[in-house]
Chains A and B, each alone.
Chain A
């Protein structure tokens, strides 16, 4: 009895350590975004302070507003997500269902692109974009983001498509539906959970991306992850503003996570097909 209790306490303690380690940066950002710069630098750190929204006002409406950067991030992320999904859904369906020459190797190449170290391909990407004049443009960044979001999305979606029994599709054909209509009316509604998950991941990857953005963006198109560094300079770091931008950049991510959670319902197909599954 006592041993069991000790085990529970130990588990709780370990979980708490991990939770704190995970939550610390977020907590730090939220707290510091509400402080003034002197409060941020105070030592020992002040736990009790007069909260202020000054940092937020400055980064949003001040001279160095990051609003355009948030818009840039949004355009890039939404653009990447939309184009990715438009291409990944049919591609994943084809890989999961159709028999064509090179299907197996196509599946492998999709995965292989995920294994390349991103830093290794940044320079070639930069050169290509520069040559076609797409540096510091939305289409340039979205194109490059597609090169890793698309394989990832396809790879994720294929498993969802494969889980739908063949018979479901065959039933639709016999009911008089064309392949496209079957895809639209029968298949996609059943993988909407998977599509929601994929949308979230693709959006987040694009939203959070920094490495490619810092190389391929410029003054016109500068996502918020890159713009944050305006607040870090050789002479000083504007901690409160940096923290405020961080919190603002995190918000859409949190909102998306909460919204998508509802859609990610597992087992939508359970019960519809007895003993069904892969064949």
Chain B
């Protein structure tokens, strides 16, 4: 298994007429890695997955799998398994026939197919449903059937296109954990498209964040969360996302609404910046930025406050212990290392 499932995208461009869905995307995925593709709708993450699968061809650039150029290789010859958002089960076949289909296409002997189907079905716990048709399964069971069909062939790459988005919240959590376990036990490389914050954070070893057809950052979820390298990523990652406030930088401090906050920057001088502070990094303190509580969203174990800070909206996440009242005047502050600075023109991290 080792050494299998290494992926390299080299300067991939994909045009849809005049519109560039991907503008020169390059990245690498290590064997055995769980790699997430994240980004808003239309940012190019699904296009990337489809190009990797061989369902779409890039307009320019090359795709390598295990060091081999597969840019012009047919989807069926790439040895890739995929779970579609819609599951794409074959409705006229039973669960067993669905799972058996990839093995049949590989011309395996009957006995081997039977054994393979049983094993795959057992792994995703649907071995009691083998004789049903997809239409007779619940959403979660259909999802498992799609998973089984993908793992049965032991392909070198395992692609998942928002596989959990059609499940209800509870099932999503369960399946999420199971997908991770499954991927670990199979030791297979997985590429996962999602727009869900938690899914990406919990599942992925590394992720690539797409913005308008470009990869803006690649890293572990923790890295991307801790050090977003552009305003767009800062505003995209996190729930609720980072507060982004235009401010003035003066000799290591930033001035927001007349209040100075320390940063970890040392440089002397003065310039315009955009300050990013995570809602969870803001704290209520006796001395700080003056703000009025506009709205409280109670999340049970914590609450998100919408603050009016001299005309600027700031969001603060507080634990349930000290939730103020709506209309209260409070003051807030943040530690220097929790303050991110971005260039308002280039939109890059400073």
Contacts and interface: CB of A to CB of B under 8 A. Distances in A.
Interface of A: 165, 167-168, 170-178, 181, 185-186, 189-190, 268-276
Interface string B74-86: 1110101110111
A273 B87 contact: yes
Interface in B122-148: 134-137, 139, 142
B86 A273 contact: yes
Nearest to B101: A175
B53 interface: yes
- Residue picked from B80, B81, B87, most chain A C-beta under 10 Å: B87
Interface of B: 53-55, 74-76, 78, 80-82, 84-92, 101-102, 105-106, 134-137, 139, 142, 149, 153, 166
A271 B135 contact: yes
Nearest to A268: B91
A172 B102 CA distance: 8
Nearest to A190: B92
Contact of B166 (A176, A185, A190, A275): A275
Nearest to B93: A189
A172 B105 CA distance: 9
Contacts of A189: 92
Contact of A165 (B75, B88, B92, B105): B88
B102 A190 contact: no
A50 to B, nearest CB: 53
Contacts of A177: 76, 101, 105
Contacts of A174: 53-55, 75-76, 78, 80-82
- Residue picked from B53, B88, B90, B92, most chain A C-beta under 10 Å: B88
Contacts of B137: 271
B76 A270 contact: no
A271 B136 CA distance: 8
B70 to A, nearest CB: 13
Nearest to B139: A274
Contact of B55 (A170, A185, A271): A170
Contacts, number: 91
A269 B76 CA distance: 24
Contact of A168 (B88, B106, B135, B136): B88
B89 A175 contact: no
A170 B84 contact: yes
A171 B139 contact: no
B76 A173 contact: yes
Given A181-B105, A274-B139, 14 more contacts: A165-B86, A167-B84, A167-B88, A168-B88, A174-B54, A174-B76, A174-B82, A175-B102, A175-B153, A177-B105, A190-B91, A271-B136, A271-B142, A273-B91
Contacts of A273: 86-89, 91
A49 to B, nearest CB: 52
Nearest to A164: B91
Nearest to B97: A185
Contacts of B166: 274-275
Contacts of B85: 167
Nearest to A186: B90
Contact of B105 (A170, A176, A269, A276): A176
Nearest to B143: A274
B135 A276 contact: no
A240 B263 CA distance: 106
A170 B75 contact: yes
A172 B101 contact: yes
15 contacts: A172-B90, A173-B54, A173-B55, A174-B82, A175-B76, A176-B105, A190-B90, A268-B91, A271-B136, A272-B87, A272-B90, A272-B135, A272-B142, A274-B87, A275-B86
A272 B134 contact: yes
- Residue picked from A178, A181, A190, A273, most chain B C-beta under 10 Å: A273
Contacts of A269: 91
A81 B264 CA distance: 80
A276 B88 CA distance: 8
Nearest to B74: A173
- Enumerate the 10 nearest inter-chain pairs by beta-carbon distance, A residue then B residue, closest first: A272-B91, A271-B135, A176-B105, A171-B88, A175-B102, A167-B88, A189-B92, A173-B75, A273-B86, A272-B134
Contacts of B153: 175-176
B92 A274 contact: no
Given A174-B53, A176-B105, A269-B91, A276 B86 contact: yes
B134 A176 contact: no
B322 to A, nearest CB: 43
B129 to A, nearest CB: 14
B105 A175 contact: yes
A181 B89 CA distance: 16
Contacts of A176: 76, 102, 105-106, 153
A274 B86 contact: yes
